Chains A and B, each alone.
Chain A
Amino acid sequence: MTGWSMLPLLAVMLPVLGMVLAPALGARGAERLTLALLPVGFALALGTAAAVQALGVPLVHHLGHWTPPLGLALGADGIGAAMLLTSTVVVAGVAVFARAGFGTSLGMPERRAAFAFWPLLLAIWGGLNLAVTARDLFTLYVALELLTFAAVPIVCLDGRRETLAAALRYLLFALLGSVLYLLGVALIYGAAGTLDIGLLAGRLAATPPVLVAAALMTAGLMAKTALLPLHLWLPPAHAGAPAAGSALLSALVVKGSFVILVRLWAGVLPPSPAAMQALAGCGAAAILLGGVAALAQTRLKLLVAYSTVAQIGYLVLMFPLLAVPGVAEKAWTGGVLQAVSHALAKSGMFLAVGLMTERLGHDRVADLAGASRVAPRPLLAFGLSALTLMGVPPSGGFAAKWLLLSTAIEAGQWWWGLVILTGGLLTGGYAYRVLSAALRAGPAAAAPLPHDSRDTVALGLALLALLLGMLPLASFGLLQIGRVGP
């Protein structure tokens, strides 16, 4: 345990402390505290990534000097460090963006939505950081609780009847997921006597209790990740939330349960090729059906929400490839890159859509004409994000999808390659629908466009997703650190 191992822990406690203090500080104080914590959080995430890369082994911190199985461990490996950086960047972008809607200027009375928004943002930040760094299955359950209880109220922050219904549906799916996961955790403790991920590695045999636990936990995490067929809650929830909230939900919240699913199947649970094929089959169905549904949407926000359903499908395509020697390493990089690039691109896209909706006064896809006049920079951000989602070079999405495609073929599982190609076409289709409508001439803009710093945030996130593809792949050696498997 070195001094560096404290960094991921501090990256978790920083937003949690901020969330706890937020109600006492009030809306204005919480907003200023959040903005002050952003650079600190970024330094901690960057320091974690640098330390993991430099040391070449995962960082592990033993809480209170108690070692597992009695105590708890928390730390960062490659995927953990990458997700810490991603969450910090997305949260920072969303926080700066949200000041316009949820900010409280001096002397302004405290508003309900502003009082709630900042601690919910901090809780999502802390919850995701915990989900990617905790090394104990029950601590991971607490991370899921933090994420759920922060994400659900964000959906209905405006208090409209439809968003309340969407939030309630989300809550029911998410609670079902929590219960199933917790049941599985209890069974695993009964079978192995420990919940530490490191100690469980290779210790679980495929006995009936472990298999039931595997099925329960996988189903629970699928519900939380919104993997088809348990995705029904996602479109109304992600489309109903305010733009800043949608960006957090689509970019970060669903990734927390995904990383836990990865940790379970790559290292803890006994390998099961059939289950991996089934999981990736759900992913393939999500890519195809989500893409078709996105094509059919008439509202822009719902279209982007269905696009999330499809993009989540790509995440799980790596599972059947992780057991194949020789390609596992590349498939792993592809899967993690997909999580990171989708987080950046989708947060940029949701923020851009929020700005376009605000300036046009509606989000009907058919009536987007003139958007290029009133919201040129958000439209550009939408287009750049779409490049990543489609997988067009040189974006991060291209690198991710290319790695998944080529490893699928190398592993002799060519059918996933077909799905990836078809999914790219469908994504191109719905992105084209939006862009072609938005580029039509509409009513001339009445006044010159005022400068809006939120445009820069949306563009910045989309550009980061694009630039991710230009990093030389060798630098992703970071992602391999701590990976369990062939």
Chain B
Amino acid sequence: MIVDLALVGGILALALGVLVARQAFAAVALFIGYGLLLALAWGRLGLMDVALTEAAIGAGLSGVLLLAAARRLSAAPAQEDSPPGRVTRALIGAGCAILTCAVGAAVLLLPDAPPGLAAEVAANQRATALGNPVASVLMAFRGLDTLLESAVLVLAVICTVALAPDQGWAGPPGAPQPQADGPLALLARLLPPLGIVVAAHIFWIGVDAPGGKFQAAAILAAMWLLPWMAGIAPAPPIGTRALRITVAAGPALFIAVGLLGAMLTGAFLAWPSGFEKPLILIVEVALTLSIAAALALLVMGPRT
């Protein structure tokens, strides 16, 4: 109880800190802390899958992305718009307060025993050949959403490339990273072998326990980004065919297997019985690599 109260207090305090921070860098640092506390809160609620994703993507990769943005902003300060007047600020505050109260009240007024699908998921899980209910939802019951979200990641990579300048857009993504020394260089050499093993483990246990391809992909992406940030391993050019195929392969294979199910069983994304596990595994391996590459490219950003 005390732990939970401290967590709630911490989350609220950090959220407030993000809003009132005057320096972009301080706001980002508070935001990363906020994401980590949020991950702890999900863990306290027993939702380890959500907690892992929040820590890896919400705090980790988004944090790196925001830090890079804050650094670029401080290097080339943007022209500031004139701050909104007193009346505008009061109106914005009132609007936000009303919205917060309405959403808060709505959540509190939801039925005490909210209707949900947990029981139905548990009843049908055996048919999906997966032990982790979250994996069953992602790969079987709502496989279409997972497939489309992985396609959205490819689209996001195309969006970042579209923002590069015309000259040299097909070169290595992001800004060139100077060779680092000290702790970053050491970490960049020590951590990746370990991280890749951890990612493989998280991927593998995801079938039956919390974990899975998104979390594993986020760790893999971080293991690629570390040596890149330390200036040890330059990123391959966007024009490289192999890099592009890596990004596209996972979702493309997912769609192909979905069409295979449509031909064999009459329903798109139906896993042919008897082959569920190997097919899901092949698709998930390809998806993990594609998502990892896409996440890393998104953090590196367009060529500057």
Contact = CB atoms under 8 A, between A and B. Distances in A.
Interface of A is mostly: helix
Given A115-B161, A193-B116, A71 B142 contact: yes
Contacts of A215: 102
Interface stretch (A35-43, A138-146, A345-353, A357-365): A138-146
B164 to A, nearest CB: 6
Contact of A153 (B102, B120, B154, B159): B159
Interface in B238-267: 239, 241, 244-245, 247-249, 251-252, 255, 258-259, 261-262, 265-267
A63 B249 CA distance: 22
Interface in B138-174: 140-145, 148-149, 151-152, 154-159, 161-166, 169-170
B268 A9 contact: yes
B281 to A, nearest CB: 17
Interface residues of A, number: 64
Contact of B255 (A13, A64, A142, A216): A13
Interface stretch (A183-191, A301-309, A316-324): A183-191
Contacts of B3: none
A400 to B, nearest CB: 32
A130 interface: yes
A69 B158 CA distance: 34
B268 A61 contact: yes
B145 A23 contact: no
Interface stretch (A116-124, A265-273, A407-415): A116-124
Nearest to B248: A24
A112 interface: yes
Interface residues of B, number: 60
Contact of B120 (A26, A70, A110, A191): A70
Interface in A175-231: 183, 187, 189-194, 207-209, 212-213, 215-216
Interface stretch (B14-22, B34-42, B105-113): B105-113
A16 B117 contact: no
A19 B151 contact: yes
Contacts of B270: 63-65
Contact of B155 (A6, A17, A150, A190): A150
Given A23-B247, A110-B239, A61 B117 contact: no
Contacts of B141: 64, 66, 70-72
Given A23-B157, A116-B158, A193-B116, A66 B140 contact: yes
A69 B267 contact: no
Contacts of A70: 117, 120-121, 124, 141
Nearest to B262: A6
A149 B107 contact: no
B289 interface: no
Contacts of A1: 266-267
Given A138-B145, A157-B162, A65 B265 contact: yes
B103 A183 contact: yes
B127 to A, nearest CB: 9
B271 interface: yes
A9 B170 CA distance: 34
B77 to A, nearest CB: 17
B110 A64 contact: no
Contact of B268 (A6, A115, A187): A6
B244 A187 contact: no
Given A13-B255, A64-B270, A149 B162 contact: no
Contacts of A113: 162, 166
B158 A120 contact: yes
Nearest to B143: A64
Contacts of A192: 115
Contacts of B265: 65
Interface string A1-34: 1010010010001001101111110100000000
B214 to A, nearest CB: 15
A90 interface: no
Interface string A62-96: 11111001111010000000000000000000000
B115 A13 contact: no
A52 interface: no
Contacts of B116: 189, 193
A479 interface: no
A3 B266 CA distance: 7
Contacts of A9: 262, 268
B168 to A, nearest CB: 10
B163 A153 contact: yes
B290 to A, nearest CB: 9
A115 B247 CA distance: 15
Leading 8 A-B pairs by shortest Cβ distance: A193-B115, A116-B162, A212-B106, A209-B106, A112-B169, A153-B162, A24-B248, A64-B270
Interface of A: 1, 3, 6, 9, 13, 16-17, 19-24, 26, 61-66, 69-72, 74, 110-113, 115-116, 119-120, 123, 130, 136, 138-139, 142-143, 145-146, 149-150, 152-153, 156-157, 159, 183, 187, 189-194, 207-209, 212-213, 215-216
21 contacts: A6-B268, A13-B259, A16-B148, A19-B154, A19-B155, A24-B244, A26-B241, A26-B244, A61-B267, A70-B121, A72-B142, A112-B169, A119-B154, A120-B158, A139-B144, A142-B152, A159-B165, A187-B106, A191-B114, A193-B117, A209-B106
